[in-house]
Amino acid sequence: MFRRLFSGASVPQAFRSNFFHFYFDIGWFGVLSGSAANFLSVYAARLGATSFQIGLLGSMGAVISLLIALPTARWLERREVSRVVFWSSIAYRLFYLLWIPLPWLFDSQGQIWAFILIAFLMGIPGVPLGVGFNALFASAVPEDWRAHVAGIRNVVFSVTFMLSSLGSGYLLDHTPFPAGYQMLFGIGAFGALMSSFHLYFIRPLERAADLAPASRSKAAAPSRPFRETLRLDIWKSPFGRILFVLLAFHLAQYLAIPLFPLYNVNVLGLTDSQIGIGTALFFLTVLFGSTQLARLARKYGHHKLTAWGVMGMSLYPIILAFSHSVVPYYGLQTLGGLIWSIVGGAQPNYMLEKVPAADRPAHLAWYSIMVNACVLGGSLAGAAIGGWIGMSAALLVFGLLRLLAGIAVLKWG
């Protein structure tokens, strides 16, 4: 099964370099995600962060994106997307180095607010990185190969995430607090910069769509009316319907996310090692599920897989609301990883299938704005609702909303 998945014999020579670097990019990103990024909210919870502060920590980048996504898309139209992605990734990921000295500089609350400020600043290069990467993937991977590449990327990410998560949990349980977290932040920063190294070598196959004509300089670019710059016409196009159903999905998704680390630490009482094992189980099943993504996509299509997967995601917050020990947590992580292997691979491809190839930056900018609005609104509203009606009740409500969002994607997407 794995041999067939990774076999490069059938991949045309012209595509192999891009595919290779996409796999190593996500592999090193898995190191970052399984170490520093995975344990940041846990660290904040152990410092005494409130649900509101954890919500802010997860949504600061969204604030910046809402302000500059559209101008960034217009700026991207006149530049080579591969270069923009590389340099913005460097600018974004250098901020991870700033996490390391914070325990030496501030008390608990000072560290929490410093993390929030850094997250806000990271949002500035994060916008061209997010918008540009989707455009780069679409232009560097032919449509017929996207499920194949996405499946392998999920497998590679799962392996590196599992290993780094297990190692991180062990490290934290055997290293004094907060020195263990500082070591984790350093490991994550290294993984982030290695990911950027591989992004440098990825090139679009459709260069004409990503480069401005040679005769057209920035100074000669015609001005556009403000209304035209906003590209509100996209919401009236067939892609507008896709934006609406994905809005329902992402809002339901992000409402629950700020409650998970608080529930795991304060209600389940999990140790760092148990959290590391849980996330490893999650990505173990992501790994196995991802090996089947291309086959399932050929049989059912990305649209149906996305819709069914979103419905399945409703199980995680609902079951977690009734959990009070580590055993059901492990079971949930295993189930959640299997479902996410489908959603995480199918949903981006489903969205990219609906984007006109000749007008990617503007369409992807609106998608980025929509996602970040959900990150911001969901993170803050989810934390507030959890504080108002209690975490268990809020998890039940958010699980129901995920179910309804999946139905919306299936019916109207």
Q: Which pLDDT band, with edges at 50, 70 and 90, does 228 fall under?
A: low
Chain segment 147-200, per-residue pLDDT in tens: 788 878 878 888 898 889 889 988 998 999 999 999 999 999 999 999 999 999
Instruction: Look at 199 and 209; give whichever has higher pLDDT.
Output: 199
pLDDT of residue 213: 37
**The CA-based dihedral angle spanning residues 324, 326, 332, 333, taken in that order and rounded to the nearest 10 degrees:** 140
Helix, strand, coil abundance in the chain, percent, nearest 5: 85, 0, 15
Q: Is the pLDDT of residue 353 over 60?
A: yes
Helix (H, G, I), strand (E, B) or coil at 140: helix
pLDDT of residue 206: 59
Q: Is the pLDDT of residue 310 over 60?
A: yes
pLDDT of residue 121: 93
Q: Is the pLDDT of residue 69 over 60?
A: yes
Q: Is the pLDDT of residue 218 over 50?
A: no
Report H helices in 144-292: 146-173, 179-199, 207-210, 226-230, 233-236, 238-256, 259-262, 272-290
- Please confirm whether the linkage preceding 101 is cis (ω < 30° from 0): no
Closest CA to 67 of 379, 363, 383, 368: 368
d(C-alpha 271, C-alpha 291), whole Å: 31
Mean pLDDT of the chain: 85
Chain segment 120-154, per-residue pLDDT in tens: 999 899 888 987 887 888 888 888 888 788 878 87
- pTM exceeding 0.75: no
DSSP state of 324: -
pLDDT of residue 7: 53
What tokens does 309 get? 């997967």
Instruction: Look at 95 and 291; give whichever has higher pLDDT.
Output: 95
Q: Is the pLDDT of residue 226 over 80?
A: no
CB 402 within 8 A of CB 314: yes
Q: Is the pLDDT of residue 25 over 60?
A: yes
Q: Which pLDDT band, with edges at 50, 70 and 90, does 385 fall under?
A: very high
d(C-alpha 332, C-alpha 336), whole Å: 6
Topology of domain 14-203+234-412 in CATH is Growth Hormone; Chain: A; (1.20.1250)
Q: What percent of the chain has pLDDT over 90?
A: 40
